[in-house]
Chain A
Amino acid sequence: MTSPSQTEQVDPEQAETPDLPVARRQREWLQTPKAAWKLRRTKIGVAFLVFVFVIAIFGPMLAPHSPTEFVGASFQLPSRVATLGTDYLGRDVLSRVLYGGRTTLVLALVATFIGEFFGLLLGLIAAYSRRGVDETVMRLLDVVLAFPAIIFALLIVSVAGPNPWLIVVAVGFTHIPAVARVSRGVALRIVNLDFVKAAEALGMPKLSIMWSEILPNITTPVLVDSGIRFAYSISIIAALSFLGFGLQPPLADWGLMINENRIGISAQPYALLAPILMIAIATIGANLVSDGMSRAIIGLDRKMANQ
């Protein structure tokens, strides 16, 4: 037998406490954004979004002219007076681009929020109720889904006229079914897990279970989805303005500018390209961030599975 001096005694109790790098003790929900930030596409997307929002917030201060001021003849190519040329009425394109993001971005943010909020709520309720309630809610949402978003918005506008806040509600409303589907899909996987059963067995009220047990587990996919929703909101609001049923002249707005300056497409393309570029940067930025996040989730899942 071995003498104690030869044997380095191991305390088995000690082995049970895992060695945890301090950094891993961070708050759970930051994990995905942090992993996403490591991807180049996320960084590009964030840069795009920051650029667009900076222009929307500070652009009006930098604008050389008022957006409604006539600075020359119509459809002038870029010159010293108007860096990006003039529009169909002879107003400065650059100044109008700098002014033109605010309204659309604010409306898109609100519409996205409305869609995400009610969609999440309905998805959560549908997933955590009896089958009958679930079926009914989802069937009703299917009805809304049957309308392409822009058709639904047009239907509302055709009745009530081009009111910006009504457009926001209409666009937000069209998001609800899609968001509800996404969050219900994720939540359905959660509600059948045993920790929900455990909370039920302890007698935790249903609302608390939804709020504190289920909700934290579905926020990440919903966050990913909200990037796409935001890009989509911008698209629809811009499209409505482009069709003449959204924001109304003489307001400076990117979608509206595209419509107004369409006839000058061969004479003064900058009046079109500038707002197009801004819309593209905004929507592509939002999509890139969303894509980066979903890739990060897949990556984290894989890492977990490998452990």
Chain B
Amino acid sequence: MHLARLILQRLALGIGTLFLVSVLIFLATQALPGNAARAILGNTATPEKVAVLSRQLGLDKPVARQYAIWVSHFVSGNLGRSFVGMDQPVSQVIGQPLYNSTVLVVLAALVSVPLSIGLGTYAALRRDGRLDRAVTTSTVALAALPEFVIGILVIIILSTEVLHLFPPIARPNPSVPVYRQLDELVLPVLTLTLAVFPYITRMMRAYTIEILESEYISMARLKGLPERIVIWRHAVPNAIVPAVQGTAMQLAWLAGGIVAVEYVFAYPGIGSALISAITERDIPTIQAITLILASVYVLLNLAADIITILVTPRLRTGLR
């Protein structure tokens, strides 16, 4: 009862955030006066032309009504039609890129999350040891670098100047399943991993250290429990719980990070699609992609909230 209410509450909050996100995107792209039509036609267009296009796009209707139409189409799966190309449906324009990007992000998450949770925990357990110092120093530096810089360094080291292991650009053949051409994906996945793992590692290290210094860990040791049980039963589970939230934030961040990384590797994902849409002023596509990327954040956060509630006795059972 208590649990269901708590989860429903989070769900409602998530939906509310999503609604506001869509309003923000709509306002930024379509409702600012004259923007959409002028943006499409460019600054040289005559006012008459702008007016005609505005009417075609439905920009002459009241803003609230425009939004209602837009959002109801969106919810029913109709993402609108692209302005460019052969007037394709947006869903078709972004379908394949969305799939490609999902593959990229999921692979990066599968590599980086276990790696950094393990590394962070290990560094905390061997605090001030050689590995810990190496980890803390290298993560400060790596966390500082923009992801496109990491990408280019990766190319320089692994595919052009130093070694020639992998192709510098990643253009998987769309007719062949991605898992058959993994070598194409190695460099972009590596780049995303290098960009995300410093944060999760540092966070996990900090949480583990905090827990290791807690009184109940001292107590566990004073009870004479073997170190193995102290760490795996008492320390690590308690450190992972707060790390869930932070990890979700980082994975959501990946959604933004892919834009520059895909561009570096010319990878045909949703980031590249967004960039060409912006170049071509293809507003329906821009709206669709930004809304999808923002939803990723909302959904991941929602998932993290619910997981946290489920694994924390204090939240799950309520007070006394």
Say yes or no: is A190 at the interface (Cβ < 8 Å to chain B): no
Please indicate the chain B residues that have their CB under 8 angstroms from the CB of A276 in the complex: 149, 152-153
**Chain B 98-145 interface residues, beta-carbon cutoff 8 Å to A:** 137, 140-141, 143-145
Say yes or no: is B212 at the interface (Cβ < 8 Å to chain A): no
**Alpha-carbon gap, A284 to B153, bound state (A):** 15
Closest to A242 in B: B148
A-B contact count (CB 8 A): 135
Q: Is chain B's binding surface mostly helix, strand, loop or mixed?
A: helix
Q: Which of A146, A149, A154, A288 contacts B21 (CB 8 A)?
A: A146
CB pair B144–A139 under 8 Å, yes or no, is no
Q: Which one of A54-62, A88-96, A262-270 is at the interface?
A: A262-270
**Chain A 4-29 interface residues, beta-carbon cutoff 8 Å to B:** none
**Alpha-carbon gap, A246 to B17, bound state (A):** 29
- The answer to whether residues A272 and B156 also contact, given A159-B35, A287-B143 and a CB cut-off of 8 A, is yes
Say yes or no: is B97 at the interface (Cβ < 8 Å to chain A): no
CB pair A242–B260 under 8 Å, yes or no, is yes
- The answer to whether residues A159 and B293 also contact, given A265-B160, A283-B145 and a CB cut-off of 8 A, is no
Closest to A265 in B: B160
Q: Which one of A70-78, A218-226, A231-239 is at the interface?
A: A231-239
**Alpha-carbon gap, A171 to B29, bound state (A):** 17
Proximity bits, B257-268, A CB within 8 Å = 1, else 0: 101100100000
CB pair A148–B17 under 8 Å, yes or no, is no
CB pair A151–B294 under 8 Å, yes or no, is yes
Count residues on chain A whose CB falls below 8 Å from chain B CBs.
46
Please indicate the chain A residues that have their CB under 8 angstroms from the CB of B141 in the complex: 284, 287
Q: Which of B16, B147, B297 contacts A145 (CB 8 A)?
A: B297
CB pair A155–B286 under 8 Å, yes or no, is yes
Instruction: Quote the shortest CB–CB distance from B34 to chain A (angstroms).
Output: 11
Proximity bits, A142-179, B CB within 8 Å = 1, else 0: 11111111110011111110000000000000000000
Please indicate the chain A residues that have their CB under 8 angstroms from the CB of B24 in the complex: 143-144
CB pair A139–B281 under 8 Å, yes or no, is no
**Alpha-carbon gap, A265 to B148, bound state (A):** 14
Instruction: Quote the shortest CB–CB distance from B223 to chain A (angstroms).
Output: 25
Say yes or no: is A140 at the interface (Cβ < 8 Å to chain B): yes
**Alpha-carbon gap, A179 to B144, bound state (A):** 17
- The answer to whether residues A265 and B155 also contact, given A151-B293, A155-B290, A158-B281 and a CB cut-off of 8 A, is yes
Q: Which of A139, A142, A243 contacts B260 (CB 8 A)?
A: A243
Say yes or no: is A258 at the interface (Cβ < 8 Å to chain B): yes
Closest to A286 in B: B144
Please indicate the chain A residues that have their CB under 8 angstroms from the CB of B259 in the complex: 148, 150-151, 154, 243
CB pair B35–A243 under 8 Å, yes or no, is no
- The answer to whether residues A159 and B260 also contact, given A139-B13, A287-B144 and a CB cut-off of 8 A, is no
Q: Can you show 5 pairs from A to B with CB atoms below 8 A apart? A: A139-B13, A157-B278, A158-B278, A158-B281, A284-B140
What are the nearest 4 A-B pairs in CB distance? A148-B256, A235-B146, A287-B144, A283-B144
Given contacts A154-B259, A266-B160, 4 further A-B contacts (CB under 8 A): A238-B148, A239-B148, A280-B149, A287-B144
